[in-house]
Amino acid sequence: MHGSHAMNKNRDLDLLDRLADAASDAILPHFRKLPGVVNKAETGFDPVTIADRNAELAMRELLAAERPDDAIFGEEYDAVAGTSGRTWILDPIDGTRGFMSGLPTWGVLIALADESGPTLGMMCQPYVGERFVGGAEGATLTHNGETQPLRTRPCADLAEAVLASTGPQHFEPQDYAAFQQVATRCRLVRYGTDCYAYAMLAAGQIDVVVEAGLKPVDIAPFVPIIEAAGGALVDWSGQRIGPTLPHGFAGQVVAVGDPTLLDAVLAALRAA
Amino acid sequence: MHGSHAMNKNRDLDLLDRLADAASDAILPHFRKLPGVVNKAETGFDPVTIADRNAELAMRELLAAERPDDAIFGEEYDAVAGTSGRTWILDPIDGTRGFMSGLPTWGVLIALADESGPTLGMMCQPYVGERFVGGAEGATLTHNGETQPLRTRPCADLAEAVLASTGPQHFEPQDYAAFQQVATRCRLVRYGTDCYAYAMLAAGQIDVVVEAGLKPVDIAPFVPIIEAAGGALVDWSGQRIGPTLPHGFAGQVVAVGDPTLLDAVLAALRAA
């Protein structure tokens, strides 16, 4: 039993890498097309949309061949039902605004969930060549063929914390007022982070992420990555996000690298 | 005469690469130190500061050996006077907040200026492995050993423009009100861009950058890069920035990829 369990885990990890390879191959030809090399056949059609859709189709094709019994919940196309109790959650390009602007801050997000929520997740940045992976075996970053463990850093005081969020323009006014209550108490606020915010929290470089208006696919892989790295991921009321995914997620996220910081962040959000 | 002129240009380009190599070697060991691999000898001393200072010292050492007659204007140490009429402008880590947060958005900035302002410039991102270079020979991006020309894209209408800025928190209130007049007229606003905003404008991915509070070293290399790529770089009153560098620069920047967009941006700034 234990051997077959371990073998399935390895097969999942292997498939995760192959899904990321397929998505990367579909996306990279469309990234940062310089004006001199625009493919005229694509005039009038958004290269982000093409890259996004082609990458999700490539991943769905691989899943249909390899895991016909698993469900699929993706960003671009309708959900596919399954019989195994397991669901693949796909966001081919998270951070499309960063992608559109040519910045290396977007990522391919892939998670595998069961009835308890996401148990395995990956963020892949194909241009930089990075893969952040988390699951029961722990959390790791692979870059240039080298793999190292991811661990969040201690930060017991909000006044010492680095806070990240994609941008003030992504909050509703009331949510922004709550975010500001956290921001004014932190040492530093960093915007424009997209999925890198959660990856860098897992890597011990950022202490707090506060966001709202997210979709399930935006956050699913970071549940196993951040929890395996030592952090916590909850909604603004303090409930764990994992069990709400891929359905029933209201879009509000608080992630902390040091779980002892959670009460201070939630209290600041309530102070608005 | 012409042959020796061309040879000096090549020597400048070669030195630019060697300066970037020296800075990269000094910085990368300190980037994104994961919690498990922190060098205990550095406890209590900011790794950003170490990386910043070591990189500038490495570049200054190379310049002292190779160009003893040139002046140096750097971010971390006192200016060095010269006799050649040429000044090297150095910012070893532009975007230290991004560096601190582990994001791949910071860069090494190097420019060579004469009495007319910067004539040669480079932004190097050592982790991603990119070098953006601009000068009399044109503007290029080198990545993974491949070099391609940089060209800004046409964008005649502000309503179609992608606007970038490092963050609302970096503006004084009055300047932020002016920035907002531009932002509300654009299609998309992207924050957290640091030096990549200017590189991506040169690469035809971003149309407008509006910032304030910059230092001369933050912007110097982008004068030759953006101008060679077809864009324009002015202060908020519409004056070219190049001739004000490295001295006399007041920190306000408007960069546009399509120079025909300049009047609309300046008019929006004045509307606040």
Predicted ipTM of the assembly: 0.89
Quick one: closest CA in B to A151, which residue?
A: B35
- What is the reported pLDDT for B47? 72
The shortest CB-CB distance from B151 to any of A34, A98, A149 is to A34
- What is the reported pLDDT for A201? 97
Cβ A176 vs Cβ A182: under 8 Å: no
In chain B, residues under CATH classification 3.40.190.80 are 158-270
Measured distance CA(A191)–CA(A176) in Å, rounded: 13
Q: Which two tokens stand for residue B26?
A: 């000094």
Measured distance CA(B69)–CA(B8) in Å, rounded: 14
Lateral strand order in the sheet of A146-149 = A71-74, A87-94, A107-114, A117-125, A130-135, A138-143, A146-149
Q: Is the peptide bond before B246 cis (omega within 30 degrees of 0)?
A: yes
> Which portions of chain A are predicted below pLDDT 70?
1-6, 34-45
Tell me how close the Cα of B74 comes to any Cα of chain A, in angstroms. Answer: 25
Q: Which two tokens stand for residue A255?
A: 């992630």
Rounded to the nearest integer, the mean pLDDT of chain A is: 92
Residue A66: C-alpha distances to residues A59, A86, A136, A171, B225 (Å): 10, 13, 22, 39, 48
A-B CB pairs within 8 A amount to 116
Topology at the third CATH level for domain A158-270: D-Maltodextrin-Binding Protein; domain 2 (3.40.190)
How many alpha carbons lie under 13 Å from residue A199 in its C-beta half-sphere? 27
Measured distance CA(B163)–CA(B191) in Å, rounded: 9
- What is the reported pLDDT for A33? 80
For B213: left if phi > 0, alpha if psi spans -120 to 50, otherwise beta; the answer is: left
pLDDT in single tens digits along all 272 residues of chain B: 455 666 777 899 999 999 999 999 999 999 988 654 444 444 445 778 889 999 999 999 999 999 999 999 999 899 999 999 999 999 999 999 899 999 999 999 999 999 999 999 999 999 999 999 999 999 999 998 899 999 999 999 999 999 999 877 789 999 999 999 999 999 989 888 889 999 999 999 999 999 999 999 999 999 999 999 999 999 999 999 999 999 999 999 999 999 999 999 999 999 98
pLDDT digits (tens, 9 = 90+) for B60-82: 999 999 999 999 999 989 999 99
**H or E element at residue A135:** strand A130-135
pLDDT digits (tens, 9 = 90+) for A76-132: 899 999 999 999 999 999 999 899 999 999 999 999 999 999 999 999 999 999 999
Any chain A CB within 8 A of the CB of B141? yes
Any chain A CB within 8 A of the CB of B82? no
- SS percent in chain A: helix, strand, coil, step 5: 40, 25, 35
Cβ separation of A97 and B149 shorter than 8 Å? no
In chain B, residues under CATH classification 3.30.540.10 are 2-149
Q: Which residues of A touch B208 (CB under 8 A)?
A: none
- What is the reported pLDDT for B43? 47
- What is the reported pLDDT for A272? 85
Cβ separation of A101 and B37 shorter than 8 Å? no
Angle at A227 between CA A221 and CA A231, to 5 degrees: 120
Quick one: closest CA in B to A257, which residue?
A: B35
- The number of beta carbons lying within 10 Å of the beta carbon of residue B256 is 27
CATH 3.30.540.10 assigned to domain A2-149? The reply is yes
Q: Of B54, B120, B62, B53, which Cα lies nearest the Cα of B86?
A: B120
Measured distance CA(A205)–CA(A153) in Å, rounded: 7
Phi, psi of A44 (to 5 degrees): 80, 0
Q: Which two tokens stand for residue B50?
A: 């170490």
Cβ separation of B193 and A149 shorter than 8 Å? no
pLDDT digits (tens, 9 = 90+) for A146-159: 999 999 999 999 99
Is B175 labelled a binding residue? no
Quick one: closest CA in B to A163, which residue?
A: B101
Cβ separation of B151 and A98 shorter than 8 Å? no
Cβ A58 vs Cβ A26: under 8 Å: yes
